Structure 1
Amino acid sequence: MAESEKPLLIKRYASRRLYNTETSDYVTLEDISGFIRDGREVQIIDLKSGDDLTRQYLLQIVAEHESKGESVLPINVLTDLVRSYTTQAGTMVPQFLAASFDAFQKSQSKWVENMNTINPMAKMPGFEAMQAQQEAFLKAMTAGVGVGGAWSGPSEDDSPKEGEDLDAIKKQLAELQSKLSKLDK
């Protein structure tokens, strides 16, 4: 197995400090979050017991981001997740979520690829503004997954220009989505 394919091993000491075995220094949850955003697989092991704590720490990272107002998961999804722990459907939920997120990433990649190729839709009025808004939305939904960096949020240039009517933007977006779905077929 190549070095870049191995997960980054993080050891948790009894003091609960996290130790990066590659760089021989201590790291924080924010550092670990950065490694993951950069496309690195991470494995967190308790030094004393040898238990794999990766899932526990990943959930803690998600919870911290959610508590800071960086909400990605809607309340109804969180509610359904909690509900799935108490039902027989709980055994299918992890596979379903993994398959759904994989499909989302693939469709995002295809969408970005289509948006980056020259096409007649690029001549539509307001197309560039819609494209910038869609890219910001996708970055927010994936928090930089596969992009290699943290999302900096939409800039002022991404917002609709003065005088643009919201209904016109919605209509253009619907037309764009219709054309994109025709391209997929």
Structure 2
Amino acid sequence: MATQDAPLLIKRYASRRLYNTETSDYVTLEDIAAFIRDGREVKIVDLKSGDDLTRQYLLQIIAEHESRGENVLPLDVLTDLVRSYATNAQSVVPQFLAASFEMLREGQSKMMENMASMPNPMAKMPGFDALQRQQQMFLKAMMGGWRGGSGPEPDQENASTAPAEGEDMEEIKRQLAELQRRISRL
């Protein structure tokens, strides 16, 4: 069995079917997208020629998600990407995008670290622990699968404790707004 650090090798047969070499079964684009969301690197190669088809299939996954209305890339970004193929900026765009995503991952990790280690006067407020766990889970889900972007795990000991049943919804909303203000200041 291969390690999780090694890319998952997917072979494309002449029939265009995709074969997972670790589990010895056929997979779909959605399966490959799930592997990637789970943090796994993939490498897709043509069985006959040995050509690396990874980029082509990753672009196809993105195109399918965009066509289903899961718009992640704003129209102006897509337009600029198309323009970059026709200009000398083509050589700069990949480095810029890679650096931007790396900064996003680092910022998310740093924010998660700060949330976990910051002495916070709000920590004594009722429901704050649950609110903080919820925020961490949201950020982890939002950035899930990105290498180095998952941040610290929420405290498992406190994960089983739920806020008291009669908590006022307005108080929770107020606490959430205060937490968001504090995060935006970081």
Please give the range of the TM-score, normalised by the shorter of the 2 chains. Answer: 0.7 to 0.9
Provide the residue aligned with 2:6 in structure 1.
6
Farther-moved stretch of structure 1 (117-126 vs 28-37): 117-126
Q: How does 1:1-185 map to 2 (within 5 A)?
A: 3-120=3-120, 122-123=122-123, 132=134, 136=138, 139-140=141-142, 142=143, 144-146=145-147, 147=150, 173-178=180-185, 180=186
Q: TM-score, normalised by structure 2?
A: 0.72
Q: Which runs of 5+ in 2 are unaligned?
A: 151-167
- Equivalent residue letter for 1:145: W
1:122 CA drift (Å): 3.1
Using the TM superposition, give the Cα deviation of residue 170 of structure 1 relative to its aligned residue in structure 2, in angstroms: 6.9
User: What SS does the aligned partner of 2:10 have?
Assistant: strand
Deviation at 1:53, TM superposition (A): 0.4
Change (3 A) 1:64 1:114: same
Q: Secondary structure at the match of 2:4?
A: helix
- Shift, 1:42, TM fit: 0.6
TM-superposed CA distance for 1:137, in Å, is 6.0
TM-superposed CA distance for 1:145, in Å, is: 2.6
Q: Deviations over 1:102-144 (max 9, x none)?
A: 111011011011112242253598977588468636733x354
Shift of 1:5: 2.5
* Structure 1 runs of 4+ with >4 Å offset: 123-135, 161-164, 168-172
C-alpha contact 1:46 1:53 (8 A) present in aligned 2: yes
Amino acid aligned to 2:106: K
Aligned CA-pair RMSD: 3.1
Q: Output the amino acid matched with 2:11.
A: K
- Which blocks of at least 5 consecutive residues in structure 1 are unaligned? 148-160, 181-185
Task: Count how many residue pairs are aligned between Structure 1 and Structure 2.
Answer: 165
Identity of aligned residues (%): 59
